[in-house]
Amino acid sequence: MTIYGYARVSTQDQKLNRQLDALRDYGVECLYTDKLSGKDFNRPGYKKLMRRLREGDLLVIPSIDRLGRNYDEVLEEWRRITKVKRADVVVLDMPLLDTRGSSIQGITGVFISDLVLQLLSYVAQLEREHIRERQRQGIDAALARGVRFGRPPHPRPEGYSEVAQMVREGEISQRGGAAQLEVSVSTFRRWLAADQCSEERCA
């Protein structure tokens, strides 16, 4: 059995020292590291570790989020390590996440670990849904107050009123008017439509 350790930080500026010290104190024999975001598993150090990991080996990680930020992906990766490769996992900052053969009151560590992971995934999914709902409520409230989102409107250049009048009277086309004002046709059409809406509201 080989004891592997994996540590990760999200950017090149962050330090790995604390994670590495904790892994070495545990007795890790082979260390793999990455300085990349946890948004996916396309990380050189982690991929090399997965190629080396064999049945009966032990993988030690400082915390479960070292595997990734998305708990759905973390669950799948946990299944690949423990069920497909048949290796064990120990998470240092969460003692219940320990799949080794030791038992807790007659229940195996694998069962307890899987149960805890499922609970973490459920809580994380609820939190994501709550965040989206709070964002939606915040946007709705801001719209009700008249707050406008997106890029600020393109300022209308000098001479717009004269050019717009010429277009409305059929003297030039919308494309010609946009060319005179040196703006895109879509922008010019949006201005004309806004003017029409404003006139209809005032009528």
- Please identify every residue annotated as catalytic: 10
DSSP codes, the chain: --EEEEEEESSTTS--HHHHHHHHHHT-SEEEEEES-SSSS--HHHHHHHHH--TT-EEEESSGGGS-S-HHHHHHHHHIIIIIS--EEEETT-TT-B-SS-EETTEEHHHHHHHHHHHHHHHHHHHHHHHHHHHHHHHHHHHHTT---SSPPPPPPTTHHHHHHHHHTTSS-HHHHHHHHTS-HHHHHHHHHHHHHHHHHH-
- Distance between CA atoms of 203 and 201, rounded to whole angstroms? 6
Rg, the chain, Cα only:
29
- As beta bridge partners, residue 104 has 107
